[in-house]
Amino acid sequence: MNLKNKINPDKLPSHVAIIMDGNGRWAQRQGEHRIFGHQNGVKAVRDTTEAAAELGIKYLTLYAFSTENWNRPVEEVNALMELLVHTISIEKDTLNKNNIRLLAIGDLKSLPPKCYDELQEAIRDTSGNTRMSLVLALSYSSRWEIVDAMKQIAAKVKAGEMQADQINDEVVSAHLTTAGIPDPELLIRTSGENRISNFLLWQIAYTELYFTDKLWPEFSKEDFYTALIDFQNRERRFGLVSAQLNSK
């Protein structure tokens, strides 16, 4: 039986988030420049998006560029932005063909104008698609997002639009850039690093974490299926005890 057939379609996560890490190391291992690794990471993005859509997953969020990544050498940042513009313009037709909607989270205004425009155009041109949402995290960091939400909420309280004691989980969630998107049930990180690197800190409160040593450019559909099978074999207790879950 192949891996895909081992996935239970009734127990699929509706949202999978991925920290796509290891492009630079993948390139350097073969004596190439780090940018070569980013270029080769695009295939893994394509394959994973296709695999998720085929399975019926509703949201796939990919961490493509963090707020902290702006501090990398300028040539690498520029190459990543170029690659982004190029990839979005090339892949837009495929997204439409596959009925996939593009969304983006992060401090998008900080992107170079060409990148920002290309992104907004792709978001607009795919907005009617309903099979899956592909969410790109760009210039994203969770602390930035939470601080930004705090500012919006504080401003509303100050303006008398809401009371401080009305602030609850739902209100905070509704002011994050992920408003309207369900929390991920599964978070995958490639490249053997066991950390979150400022990604979706609020949203992953009860998310299952899956770490693999595979570097992002070598991450395949089979690796994605393996992560899903691992997820499906876990017991998600949400603070309860096993017996309570089994008596439901």
User: What is the contact surface with Mg ion in residues (CB under 5 A)?
Assistant: 21
Out of 66, 139, 203, 212, the only residue in the binding site for ligand IPE (CB under 6 A) is 66
**Which tokens in the block code for residue 175?**
């002011």
Q: By CB under 6 A, tell whether 23 contacts ligand IPE.
A: yes
Max Cα–Cα distance, the chain, nearest Å: 60
**Which tokens in the block code for residue 33?**
């420049």
Q: By CB under 6 A, tell whether 11 contacts ligand IPE.
A: no
Piece of 44-52, 66-74, 153-161, 228-236 that binds ligand IPE (CB under 6 A): 66-74
Q: By CB under 6 A, tell whether 195 contacts ligand IPE.
A: yes
Minimum CB–partner distance for residue 1 and ligand IPE (Å): 33
DSSP letter (8 states) at residue 207: P
CA distance 225 to 55: 10
Minimum CB–partner distance for residue 140 and ligand IPE (Å): 8
Rank residues 138 and 153 by Cβ distance to ligand IPE and give the closer one. Answer: 138
Pick from 77, 81, 82: which is nearest to 34 by CA?
Answer: 77
Out of 19, 60, 95, 132, the only residue in the binding site for ligand IPE (CB under 6 A) is 19
DSSP letter (8 states) at residue 214: S
Which residues ranging from 133 to 192 are in contact with ligand IPE (CB under 6 A)?
A: 191
Q: By CB under 6 A, tell whether 197 contacts ligand IPE.
A: yes
Residue 88 neighbours by CB distance under 10 Å: 19
Minimum CB–partner distance for residue 151 and Mg ion (Å): 29
State how far the alpha carbon of 26 is from the alpha carbons of 80, 197, 218, in Å: 16, 19, 8
